[in-house]
Amino acid sequence: MSALYLYAVLGAPLPAGAGGLEDEPIETVPAAGVWLAVGQLQRAPEASAVALRAHDASVRRLEAMSEAILPARFGQTAADLETLTRRFADSGDRLRAALSLVEGCVQMTLRLLGLKPPAAEGTDLARPGTRYLETRRRLAAGEGFSAEVDALRRDCAVLVRAERASWSESASRLTFYHLVERAMLASYTAVVERHRPALEQAGRFTLSGPWPPYAFANG
């Protein structure tokens, strides 16, 4: 059964030329004041390494043609265009704000392995609930893991438009997603590399990208 497949939300329509998962032409259609990049597939795709890579390759082609893109998660399909556009009927303001944030930017991803989670700090931490909430806040912000990580964040703050952090307790892995203007990419990379020796003393450190702004696609 055929399926309309969503690749991304865009800030402006694009000319024809990009191909999708089945080499089908990707079209841009209006919805709620934004543009949806869609392709008509013979059937809904099954999750596999090959399909995921093909999805990412399609998003990258769109990203190279667009100033503002919000990549869709793999596997987003609808029976027809009316069904798909209905999903976005009440999301126009949120999507336009998110597109404004990512315009002209790429995502860089920093991963640090082998870190210990930060302890809560503050003047009113006698109550267990307060201590728990403060610890969760620091984990969510990627704050207080080490002096080296905090120094990196301070230096990157003037070069990135937005930052999101993710902590994996099971993997002892801290990930930063940085939204960086394309024009600032060389400066950003130089700053990160300057911190690499200090960060690698605490554990494994990797920098990857540039990527489409996957981590910022939900606004």
Total domains present in the chain: 2
Last residue of a domain, one of 64, 94, 124: 94
Quick check: is 121 in a domain?
A: yes
Q: Find where tokens 């597939």 sit.
A: 41
174, two tokens: 């801290």
Average pLDDT of the chain to the nearest whole number: 90
| Residue 150 scores a pLDDT above 80 | yes
Last residue of a domain, one of 45, 70, 94: 94
Burial of residue 12, with CB atoms counted within 10 A of its CB: 0-12 exposed, 13-18 middle, 19 or more buried? middle
Residues 61 and 148 in one domain: no
Estimate to the nearest angstrom the gap between the alpha carbon of 161 and the chain centroid.
13
* Residues 69, 99: Cα–Cα separation, whole Å: 6
Distances (CA, A) of 22 to 7, 13, 40, 67: 13, 21, 9, 25
Exposure class string for 85-120: b at 16+ Cβ within 10 A, else e? beebeebeeebbebbebbbebbbbbbbbeebeebeb
Of 68, 57, 122, give the one whose Cα is nearest residue 100.
68
| Residue 208 scores a pLDDT above 80 | yes
Estimate to the nearest angstrom the gap between the alpha carbon of 11 and the chain centroid.
16
* Residue 81, amino acid: L
Quick check: is 99 in a domain?
A: no
Lowest mean pLDDT among 32-36, 66-70, 126-130: 126-130
| Residue 65 scores a pLDDT above 90 | yes
- What pLDDT band is residue 1 in, cutting at 50, 70 and 90? low
Residues 69 and 143 in one domain: no
Residue-range definition of the domain harbouring residue 41: 3-94
Last residue of a domain, one of 47, 73, 94: 94
pTM: 0.87
- What pLDDT band is residue 157 in, cutting at 50, 70 and 90? very high
> What was the pLDDT predicted at 158?
94
Under DSSP, is residue 57 helix (H, G, I), strand (E, B) or coil? Answer: helix
2, two tokens: 């055929």
The answer to whether the CB of 74 falls within 8 A of the CB of 55 is: yes
131, two tokens: 């201590």
Quick check: is 100 in a domain?
A: no
37, two tokens: 């990049």
Exposure class string for 65-76: b at 16+ Cβ within 10 A, else e? bbebbbbbebeb
- What pLDDT band is residue 122 in, cutting at 50, 70 and 90? low
**How do residues 180-202 score in pLDDT, each as one tens digit?**
999 999 999 999 999 999 988 87
Q: Find where tokens 């070069």 sit.
A: 159
* Residues 142, 127: Cα–Cα separation, whole Å: 23
Q: Does residue 60 or residue 145 have the better pLDDT?
A: 60
Residues 109 and 207 in one domain: yes
* Residue 205, amino acid: F
